[in-house]
Structure 1
Amino acid sequence: MKTRTFVPEKLDVAALAQDAASLSGQWPAASLERLADAAAPEAPASGWPVLQWSLAGEVRQPKGGKAQTWLHLTASGEVALTCQRCLKPVHEAIDIDRWIRFVETEAEAAELDVDSDDDVLALPRHLDARELIEDELLLALPLVPRHEVCPEPLPLADDAEDAEVEERPNPFAILAALKRTGQG
């Protein structure tokens, strides 16, 4: 029997599941452009460790139902994002472990996705697994990256700015003075 060769950029998910096959590999972080765009300027994606990933197909046969196509996706890596407190690079580990169910139509996927904890997608003829993995990595990024404790003290406002604020008269103090002189 001839074994099939699977390519992540043009993956036949149904065939992968039927063969109970798996794929794994690693990619340089810089090769995933949208993920690389999230990098802190001082720590570009070209300096990040490689991203590890794996895909495994599975067909599940529920009792009394039709066969279901599933894809198990795992990925891990480390990214460097900009800390929202100190604006320095913060290194974040990302680990993904997801099961994705594939169904025949977009309508069926939308209907099942509402009720399911698992991701449900319409089964494409060919899936770009690289794009799917990058999407999952992007979704796993922290919304507000920050250090637990910033490595340097947070920058304070310049003393010159503070002095300028102190020199400006308080508009309410001026108003109170006008009010007093108008009553006197």
Structure 2
Amino acid sequence: MVQGGRVFEGTVPLRQLERLRDLLASAEGDAVYRVEFGIDEFDVEFVDIRVDTGLPLVCQRTMNVFVQPCSISQRLGLLRDEREENALPEGYEPLLVTDGQLHIKDVLEDELILALPLVPLSPGAPLEQVPVTAGSAPEDGQSPNPFAALGQLKSSRH
């Protein structure tokens, strides 16, 4: 595929991406992809990956399901040995291919998992207000000393 500069395009249903599916609110939808293999001017074998989809996630503020747009464009340098990683040009992410085979679906799934937000928040979700209780902040504007209570305990023991 690398020597021939092969290009693959298509769609994959999210429900077929088993590891990703478990992280989503639902497995509805498709990921549209384009994968191109080649060799660059530095003789580095690479695969360019482009993926566009919407990921159904649960907003951690509202607990409602929303669709997070996801667009990935990544160039992966194909490595046969981990020691080759330092030779990759800037802008390449390493992809270890020890057996000479690459499963496109697995690579697409890996990239989508990496694109997931740590804390999903739907756009426009209301910010939660932290209630302020009377007497919680000193009137002089200085922050309270978190160790003041320990000092009181120490002086009461003597």
Which of 91, 112, 132 aligns to 1:117? It is 91
Unaligned stretches of 5+ residues in structure 1: 1-15, 155-184
Which of 14, 34, 59 aligns to 2:19? It is 34
Which residue of structure 1 lines up, in the alignment, with residue 134 of structure 2?
none
SS in 2 for 1:80: strand
Q: Does 1:146 align with 2:131?
A: no
Select the structure of larger CA radius of gyration.
1
Q: Distance in 2 between matches of 1:137 and 1:144?
A: 15
Q: Does 1:129 align with 2:129?
A: no
Q: Is the 8 A contact 2:68 2:122 kept in 1?
A: no
Q: Is the 8 A contact 1:106 1:121 kept in 2?
A: no
Which residue of structure 1 lines up, in the alignment, with residue 72 of structure 2?
96
Q: Distance in 2 between matches of 1:148 and 1:94?
A: 14
Deviation of the 1:149 alpha carbon? 2.2
Which residue of structure 2 lines up, in the alignment, with residue 17 of structure 1?
2
Q: 1:103 to 1:39 in 2, by over 3 A?
A: closer
Q: Is the 8 A contact 1:26 1:52 kept in 2?
A: yes
Deviation of the 1:34 alpha carbon? 1.3
What number of residue pairs does the alignment pair up? Answer: 127
Q: Distance in 2 between matches of 1:53 and 1:28?
A: 11
Q: Does 1:108 align with 2:84?
A: yes
SS in 2 for 1:18: coil
Q: Is the 8 A contact 1:73 1:98 kept in 2?
A: yes
Per-residue CA deviations over 1:42-96 (Å, capped at 9, x if unaligned) read xx21xx221111110111233xxxx221110111111111100011112101111
Which of 25, 28, 32 aligns to 1:52? It is 32
Q: Distance in 1 between matches of 2:65 and 2:111?
A: 22
CA RMSD, Structure 1 to Structure 2 (Å): 2.1
Q: Which runs of 4+ in 1 moved over 4 A?
A: none
Q: Which has the higher contact order (CA 8 A, sep 6+)?
A: 1
Which of 47, 59, 80 aligns to 1:83? It is 59
Aligned-residue sequence identity (percent) comes to: 24
Q: Distance in 1 between matches of 2:11 and 2:108?
A: 11
Q: Distance in 2 between matches of 1:55 and 1:77?
A: 15
Per-residue CA deviations over 1:74-127 (Å, capped at 9, x if unaligned) read 111111111000111121011110011123312222x346x8432022333111
SS in 2 for 1:81: strand
SS in 2 for 1:17: coil
